[in-house]
Amino acid sequence: MKGRRVLGFLLLTFFLIFMLSGCYDSIEVDDLAYVIAIGVDKGTVDMVKVTLQFALPLAMGTGGEGGGGGGGGGESEENKTVYNLTIDAPSILTGISMANNIVSKQINLSHTKIIVFSEEMAREGIGNYIVRLSSMRQLRPNTAVYVTRSSAEEFLKAVTPQLSTNTAKYYEQGVLVHERVGATANTQLHSFSAASRSLGAQPVVTLAGINRYETSADFKIPKDDASMGEDNNINHLEYKAGEIPRAAKNKAEVRGLAVFRGGKMIGELSGLETIFYMMVTGELRYNNITLQDPHDSNNYVVLNVKKSRNPVHSVEIVDGKPLIGVKILLEADISAIGSEMDYQEPEKASILEKECEKYIKREIESLLYKTSKEFNTDIFGFGNKIAGKFATWEEWEKFGWLQKYKDTSFSVEVDLVIRRPGLTVKSIPIISSEGAEGK
């Protein structure tokens, strides 16, 4: 009996030795250098120029010397809560390994929020880079991917958050802009990797840029009058990243989408076009659309448009050519009325609904044909629905959807219902001083 107890004690001690040695390869948090953003440009002396943006936890906790201030104009200040390291290397992964020889701590990518490619790199092709990055264990599949119209190095330097002392949190909140605004999409590492290798869809990437205005005195109308839509429908979301007329210390901004065919960028969508892209894909939550008042051409009506139900897509093959039907189901609230028209009346509200439906239909048709005729790339994923019409994978592969997309015809239907006219119960005309004196 005593021998069994001794044997049991020895076995227990033996197993405890292995359990207590489980942290032999542990690394202290203070020994790690956390990369929160990666920038990739075309190299100067080698293949690529890699910029690693490291978080400085102590500076983030205190706000640094350049963060936490108000908006205002003037030149951008250096972000004291991060440390940027740029290095030329034959590949992104090699650049990260080379950086490990420079920084005193071990580089860790598990908290990387965004990966930014320059437009120059994107137009030459970034598909292979994305595939390699998506296979890394430390990088999370939902890491956001941006394409910047400037260099990636300069874009990361331009990031100087004013309402947050945590740059990593700023990136996280920026990725969610598509939910609040709808003028860009949530493009991630895994979604780009999957779409770039798909036979039925092509990828898009969030478009980023550096704002060019220093003060409000520098504001000017673009040469192509990008802020004015057809029929004088003003919509500030027509701008792309870097074009918004604003004056602020933080020069970095995102708006619009970079359109890809395979792994190469072939074009851009403005913020307004991105809203209609989100309508077609069913990802739009809500957004304000400004329309010319159908009863008063000198005034405008602002509608808060949101998705009522998921869009309905129908696909057919007619004489070997695709025919795609798109039905968009929306509802809207009246946010603001510039005229004295009483849109609380159902008859007048119906006229406004029809005007908005006509405007949205026209813009969606324009976008669809732009992607098919000009870009020849299916960024909506219509091909994934057409694939179900083929009995075997070999037949679907032989059909060559991505080559046939340019021959696609579209039929668009928009159903919009105004649910709420706003807080105004009844529109009352404004009495001018001349009118009051006349009475």
Closest CA to 34 of 58, 57, 54: 54
Strands annotated E in 184-320: 204-210, 252-261, 264-269, 286-292, 300-307, 312-318
Integer angstrom CA distances of residue 412 from 4, 276, 288, 360, 365: 82, 12, 21, 10, 7
Closest CA to 375 of 253, 202, 233, 135: 202
Instruction: Round to whole Å and give the CA distance between 156 and 111.
Output: 16
Helices 346-369 and 271-281, axial angle in degrees (round to 10) = 100
Instruction: Round to whole Å and give the CA distance between 39 and 146.
Output: 9
| pLDDT value of position 2 | 67
Element containing residue 169 per DSSP (H, E): helix 167-175
Closest CA to 323 of 201, 202, 200, 411: 411
Which of the residues in the chain have pLDDT under 50? 66-76, 225-232, 234, 437-439
Q: What share of the chain is helix, strand, coil (3-state, %, to 5)?
A: 35, 25, 40
Q: What structural domains does the chain harbor?
A: 28-282 (no CATH), 285-439 (3.30.300.210)
| pLDDT value of position 298 | 78
| pLDDT value of position 132 | 87
- Residue 232: which region, alpha, beta or left (left: phi > 0; alpha: psi -120 to 50)? left
DSSP assignment letter at 432: P
State the residue for tokens 């704002």. Answer: 211
| pLDDT value of position 219 | 75
Contact 373, 404 (CB under 8 A): no
| Terminal-to-terminal C-alpha distance of the chain | 115
In DSSP terms, which residues pair with 416 in a beta bridge?
330
| pLDDT value of position 26 | 60
Q: Tell me the pTM.
A: 0.82
Instruction: Round to whole Å and give the CA distance between 138 and 83.
Output: 20
